[in-house]
Amino acid sequence: MKLFQKFLQILWRIWFLTISAILVIVFSPLVFLVVYFDKIKFFNFLKRVGANLILFFMGFYIETEGKEHIDYSKQYMIIANHTSVLDILLMIKIFKSPFVFVGKEELSKFPIFGYFYKKTNITVDRSSPKSKKEVYDQVESFTRQGLSVVIYPEGTIPDEKVILAPFKNGAFRMAIEHHLPILPVIFLDNKKRFPYRWTGGSPGKLRVKILPPINTAKLSLDDMNDLRDFAYSQIYTELINDELKKEF
């Protein structure tokens, strides 16, 4: 029975890759034109269409708490826990206003997708000091266009046993330097529903919790570590509380 279940889960993963590949191929001509003419905001619309289609055909439905904390007239440094590839799709789905991801350089190496990703987001080679510096310049460029920025401050998807890996400083340094309020987002079910491996998971509800923004207007870089630790404690506490609720 368990072997058959794993077989179905692998087929489900293949279905995910198939849907994603079809959408990339079908949308590529339009996306190429949008990217060529530098229409980032329209590209954001196309991303939302694609994310909604993938989530729908995978059998997921979304429950979001804390939408009232988003002021779409403002720009944010959006941070979240990183547990699954679904984190990207959900972020695209729940935020209506345009934003860019800051992600690892390796994503730009995927055929077709990688080209569009690099053109419309910010990529960083964490082993290169020069690349890290360029990220700060690109963030400033995008925020001048009225876009928010999304960073997963853990840096990568940690081991499944890790509730929340330590945060890196980049998101908090940039939030202070560019005077962006930090908007913490918590994905409560992505790890269970679609873990970062070929087996496990199932269709169903994906809960997202958005916390009140953290103002950085009066902060300096001397406050960076405290800001990072405060944001970490907020997300960690929510994740722990959710785990405790499941036990009772």
How many beta carbons lie within 10 A of that of residue 147, not counting itself? 19
The pTM score is 0.90
Alpha helices in 121-157 (DSSP H): 129-144
- List CB contacts of 237: < 8 A, sequence separation 6 or more: none
Of the pLDDT bands very low, low, confident and very high (cuts 50, 70, 90), residue 109 is low
Q: What is the extent of the structural domain holding 160?
A: 2-247
> 248 versus 156: which is more confidently predicted?
156
Q: Which of 44-58, 93-107, 233-247 has the lowest mean pLDDT?
A: 93-107
pLDDT at 16: 94
Q: How far apart are CA 158 and CA 191, in angstroms?
A: 11
Of the pLDDT bands very low, low, confident and very high (cuts 50, 70, 90), residue 128 is low
**CA angle, 205 as apex, 203 and 206 as ends, to 5°?**
105
Mean pLDDT of 221-238: 96
Mean pLDDT of 177-192: 94
Which CATH number fits the domain that encloses residue 147?
Answer: 3.40.1130
DSSP β-ladder status, 99-104 and 148-151: parallel
Percent of the chain topping pLDDT 70: 88
pLDDT at 171: 92
The count of domains in the chain is 1
SS3 234: helix
Of the pLDDT bands very low, low, confident and very high (cuts 50, 70, 90), residue 187 is very high
Q: What is the DSSP code string of 152-209?
A: -TT-S---TT-SSPPPPSHHHHHHHHTTPPEEEEEESSHHHHS-SSSS---SEEEEEE
